């Protein structure tokens, strides 16, 4: 027997957490020949960002746990990864904001190194370099951020990780394209 109840108060076997866990988010799709890459935000893995590749060998997670693909540049995660011309993937690790490279065979190496609060985003293939927006934050002795971050457009050498400033002096840079 059906029973009338006030809006939103009816019983359900689905909790909010069950519904949220089921919603994998998809974004930033790249295609090259018969291979496709995309980013997945996985609520069931604490929101971890994963790069998935689907190609001739099947579908696999290119960035295995605990890797978490997410950039904090401009605080909105823009351009946290890209596919390079040789099908290597460059991505920003959420925890330390370093850029990592994953070759088609799954070998991973950290490309950038910094000890301060430096962030990279808007990654773009430039052949032997990766173009990116670099955002540097300064902190006081008590660990608090102060002043506005400094933004630069940079080119990062794929072979060495050396960072070269291409443009600076403006409050905002976004979406570099060679």
pLDDT in tens, 16-64: 666 666 678 888 899 998 999 999 999 989 899 999 999 988 999 999 8
Q: In this structure, is the dihedral angle defined by the CA atoms of residues 111, 117, 123 and 129, taken in order, positive or negative? A: negative
* Confidence at residue 12, expressed as pLDDT on a 0 to 100 scale: 73
The three-class DSSP label of residue 44 is helix
Q: In this structure, is the dihedral angle defined by the CA atoms of residues 114, 90, 62 and 52, taken in order, positive or negative? A: positive
What tens digit of pLDDT does each residue of 54-101 get? 998 899 999 989 999 999 988 877 899 999 999 999 999 999 999 999
Asked if pLDDT for residue 3 goes beyond 80, the answer is no
* Confidence at residue 20, expressed as pLDDT on a 0 to 100 scale: 61
Distance CA 116, CA 145 (A): 12
* Prediction pTM value: 0.83
Phi/psi at 64 (5° precision): -75, 155
Angstrom CA distances, 106 to 3, 7, 65, stand at 56, 51, 13
């Amino acid at each position: 027997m059906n029973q009338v109840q006030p809006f939103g108060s009816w019983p359900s076997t689905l909790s909010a957490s069950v519904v949220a866990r089921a919603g994998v988010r998809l974004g930033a799709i790249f295609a090259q020949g018969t291979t496709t890459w995309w980013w997945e935000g996985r609520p069931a893995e604490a929101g971890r960002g994963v790069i998935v590749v689907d190609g001739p060998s099947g579908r696999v997670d290119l960035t295995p746990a605990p890797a978490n693909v997410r950039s904090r540049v401009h605080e909105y995660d823009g351009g946290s990864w890209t596919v390079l011309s040789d099908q290597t993937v460059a991505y920003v690790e959420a925890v330390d904001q370093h850029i990592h490279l994953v070759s088609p065979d799954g070998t991973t190496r950290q490309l950038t190194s910094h000890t301060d609060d430096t962030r990279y985003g808007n990654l773009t293939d430039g052949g032997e370099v990766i173009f990116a927006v670099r955002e540097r934050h300064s902190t006081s002795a008590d660990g608090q951020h102060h002043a506005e971050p400094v933004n630069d457009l940079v080119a990062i050498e794929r072979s060495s990780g050396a960072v070269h400033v291409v443009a600076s002096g403006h409050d905002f840079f976004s979406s570099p394209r060679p």
